[in-house]
Amino acid sequence: MTLATREVRWGAAGKMIVDGVTLQATPGRVLGLIGPNGSGKSSLLRLLCRLRNVASGVVTLDERDIAVVPRRELARRLAFVEQQATTEIQLSVCDVVRLGRTPHRAALASWNGADEAAVNEALARVGLTERHDQLWHTLSGGERQRVHIARALAQEPSELILDEPTNHLDIQHQLSILGLVRRLGITCIMALHDLNLAAMFCDEIALLHEGRLQAAGTPDEVLTAEAIQRIFGVAVAIGTGASGRRHIEYLIEAERRQP
């Protein structure tokens, strides 16, 4: 077992944003959350890692209510990568990644070889070993996102949660980041906007709309022309891409009128 929700609800300003969602991640697989803006994807991710407390229902980790899991234990299990994280402090790449070791260290503990090994391994996994001492501010957007994933990996989590990890990146960096996430071999839950990227890199997909879960399953099961038309309001043609995975072609009005 791993992360799961049961009838989870959360709202703000009198509006229900996550409304009765029941969902379970499969260990070692990539689960993608998709849906229009305002569908509750980011809010659900924050409920999963206890950055917000549920109004009702329960989030469980290995069948334990995460509300009773000690913070340090939870931080050792779950790592969260936000859409964009920035700082005005002049930090090197290794300084940022070292932050991931915080849950594993006592308050006054000295930095040790195990900590340094975890940082170096995390940087190697994201292909940034040579950037170890470079200032974080001098990196490209894609490299910065890799550093934040390395910081999460330095936590040595069994579950990784990512909120729009490819936001504002060019297509080369989008493919690179998502390929990296898929190769990690740990349970990953991530929110995505691009339906084709979700089809290419996710083992399972959960479709949200107005805070409610509309469908969950494989990309082939969830990404149907009917569901996309109903939820996103666009007509599509569904085919198979060069990767062998589902491919979605968006139809403009002129194409839709063709016999």
Domain ranges of the chain: 3-256
CATH number for domain 3-256, candidates 3.30.450.40, 3.40.430.10, 3.30.70.270, 3.40.50.300: 3.40.50.300
What confidence score (pLDDT) does residue 84 get? Answer: 65
With beta carbons less than 8 A apart as the criterion, state whether 225 and 236 touch.
yes
DSSP bridge pairs for 64: 61
Longest dimension (CA), the chain: 72
What confidence score (pLDDT) does residue 254 get? Answer: 46
Pure H helices in the chain:
41-48, 71-77, 93-98, 113-125, 141-154, 171-183, 195-201, 219-222, 225-232, 253-256
Residues whose CB is less than 8 angstroms from the CB of residue 157 and which lie 6 or more positions away in sequence, other chains included: 76, 77, 78, 79, 186
- Low-confidence residues of the chain: pLDDT under 50: 254
What confidence score (pLDDT) does residue 110 get? Answer: 78
With beta carbons less than 8 A apart as the criterion, state whether 132 and 116 touch.
no
Tell me the two tokens of residue 211: 């805070």
Amino acid at 89: I
Give the C-alpha separation, 180 to 161, whole Å. 14
What confidence score (pLDDT) does residue 80 get? Answer: 95
What confidence score (pLDDT) does residue 88 get? Answer: 65
Tens of pLDDT, residue by residue over 61-78, are 999 999 999 999 999 999
Buried b (16+ CB within 10 A) or exposed e, 173-191: bbebbbebbeebebbbbbb
3-state secondary structure string, 206-253?
Answer: EEEECCEEEEEECHHHHCCHHHHHHHHCCCEEEEECCCCCEEEEECCH
